[in-house]
Amino acid sequence: MPFVKMIEFHSHLVIHVHQNGLLTQLVLLYQLSLPQPFNKQKG
């Protein structure tokens, strides 16, 4: 039983990390698409 719990925990962890990685990529893409117009306005 503990072994099954461990596998469950591990899969949850993998999913969590995967979702976080996806979120980070989206945020990075969002940040990359933003600065250009802002920089043009400032400069």
The answer to whether residue 12 is domain-embedded is: yes
Predicted local confidence at residue 28, as pLDDT = 83
pLDDT digits (tens, 9 = 90+) for 6-22: 888 888 888 888 788 88
The answer to whether residue 9 is domain-embedded is: yes
What is the value of pTM for the model shown? Answer: 0.40
pLDDT at 39 over 60: no
Rounded CA separation 34/1 (Å): 49
Q: What percent of the chain has pLDDT over 70?
A: 77
Element of type H or E holding 10: helix 2-33
Predicted local confidence at residue 37, as pLDDT = 58
The answer to whether residue 20 is domain-embedded is: yes
The answer to whether residue 14 is domain-embedded is: yes
Q: Is the dihedral of CA 4, 10, 16, 19 positive or negative?
A: negative
- Least confident range of 5-9, 25-29, 36-40: 36-40
